[in-house]
């Protein structure tokens, strides 16, 4: 079974802090994704990466950056956390292939910025 592991289940940070959210997958997937999930807004794509050292902006990249130095690890960085970044963050990985190749999600990191 594919396993996508997010380093923290809950995280509380202060406004202005630099925040790192870590994600590791164990299935050698080329594609990795960061989403945030908010009530009433659903899943929104922040950034994705097709391969190591490659990154593409998603629908809401402002205030975020990413790093992918190794194939199995994809990090989301909040350069200066703000209260509107309080959310559930979900990492996913996928093997490139058919369009219906599934996204495999981690269980999320609930970030609260105070």
Partner 1 sequence: QKEVEQDPGPLSVPEGAIVSLNCTYSNSAFQYFMWYRQYSRKGPELLMYTYSSGNKEDGRFTAQVDKSSKYISLFIRDSQPSDSATYLCAMNRGSNYKLTFGKGTLLTVNP
Q: 16 or 102: whose CB is closer to partner 1?
A: 102
Residue carrying the six token digits 């990191």: 109
- Shortest Å, Cβ 94 to partner 1: 9
- Shortest Å, Cβ 12 to partner 1: 17
- Shortest Å, Cβ 42 to partner 1: 3
Which burial class, exposed, middle or buried, applies to 11 when counting CB atoms under 10 A from its CB (0-12, 13-18, 19+)?
A: middle
Q: 50 or 82: whose CB is closer to partner 1?
A: 50
Q: 45 or 52: whose CB is closer to partner 1?
A: 45
The residue ranges that bind partner 1 (CB under 8 A) are 4, 40-43, 45, 48, 58, 90, 92, 96-108
Cα–Cα distance for residue pair 32/19, rounded to 1 Å: 19
* φ/ψ (deg, to 5) at 62: -65, 130
Q: 21 or 92: whose CB is closer to partner 1?
A: 92
Strands (E), the chain: 4-6, 10-13, 19-25, 31-38, 42-49, 56-57, 64-70, 73-78, 87-94, 104-105, 109-113
- Shortest Å, Cβ 77 to partner 1: 21
């Amino acid at each position: 079974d594919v396993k996508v592991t997010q380093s923290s289940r809950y995280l509380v940070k202060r406004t202005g802090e630099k925040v790192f959210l870590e994600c590791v997958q164990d299935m050698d997937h080329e594609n990795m994704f960061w989403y945030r999930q908010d009530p009433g807004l659903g899943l929104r794509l922040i950034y994705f990466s097709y391969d190591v050292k490659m990154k593409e902006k998603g629908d809401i990249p402002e205030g975020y950056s990413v790093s992918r130095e190794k194939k199995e690890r994809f990090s989301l960085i909040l350069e200066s956390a703000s209260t509107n970044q309080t959310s559930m963050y979900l990492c996913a990985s996928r093997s490139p292939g058919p369009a219906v190749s599934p996204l495999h999600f981690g269980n999320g990191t609930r970030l609260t910025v105070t």
